[in-house]
Chain A
Amino acid sequence: EPEVTQTPSHQVTQMGQEVILRCVPISNHLYFYWYRQILGQKVEFLVSFYNNEISEKSEIFDDQFSVERPDGSNFTLKIRSTKLEDSAMYFCASSSASTSGYNEQFFGPGTRLTVL
């Protein structure tokens, strides 16, 4: 069964450093997402990406964040200058391009980011 994969599973970084979190969505999916979950809090939407551009973003997704699809398989989230409050589990998800008004999002296992 196809699945979304993410690397690394755990990333530790120093405050102010740049990190890149990587995801490989399901191969025939066209929508890609990033969500995050700060420990003990809700899963929160960050951004969605379609047709090589951002289609939606939340207020959390500020200028320090960026997303890219550098090739035909990877989807990355870059945090330019990490802050302590960026410590969270980051989930990638993907979905097909349904025209019926419904989309099921398939989630990856997550990358736990720890900012020291």
Chain B
Amino acid sequence: AQSVSQHNHHVILSEAASLELGCNYSYGGTVNLFWYVQYPGQHLQLLLKYFSGDPLVKGIKGFEAEFIKSKFSFNLRKPSVQWSDTAEYFCAVNALRDTGRRALTFGSGTRLQVQP
């Protein structure tokens, strides 16, 4: 079974600071990787996804993530955060191509607070 670890539970940054949120997963096979964001009072929205190909993926709102297979990691980055990036960020994984299972396994989330 897969598991996902997000080691940063709460991150506080000032506007314009750079962001990197860690995500590690445990599964030795082929994975699909996702970052979802949940703005206050809103539903989960997909920020970006990795399926195959270029391990550096770009998502919406200037976010990107890098898949490093050897480290089982899929860290989320943004060069310069804005106050509007204040939200909770969830990393998720599934191994659909190996297992046929579509269920997403989520990390515990990272609460990002951006101070103006």
Contact = CB atoms under 8 A, between A and B. Distances in A.
A103 B108 contact: no
A75 interface: no
A112 B43 CA distance: 12
B46 A43 contact: no
B49 A33 contact: no
A44 B94 CA distance: 13
Interface in A69-116: 91, 95, 100-110
Interface residues of A, number: 26
B14 to A, nearest CB: 26
B19 interface: no
Contacts of A31: 102
B41 to A, nearest CB: 9
Question: Contact residue range for chain B?
Answer: 20 to 34
Q: Which of A41, A43, A100, A108: most chain B CB closer than 10 A?
A: A43
Interface in A5-50: 31, 33, 35, 41-45, 48
Given A107-B43, A107-B44, A107-B45, A42 B108 contact: yes
Contact of A108 (B43, B94, B101): B43
A23 to B, nearest CB: 12
A104 to B, nearest CB: 6
Nearest to B90: A43
Q: Which of B90, B103, B109: most chain A CB closer than 10 A?
A: B103
B97 A101 contact: yes
A10 B49 CA distance: 30
B43 A42 contact: no
Given A43-B90, A101-B97, A103-B96, A91 B103 contact: no
Interface string B37-53: 00000111110010100
A58 B106 CA distance: 14
B32 A105 contact: no
- What are the 5 closest A-B residue pairs judged by CB atoms, nearest first? A101-B97, A107-B44, A45-B103, A109-B43, A43-B106
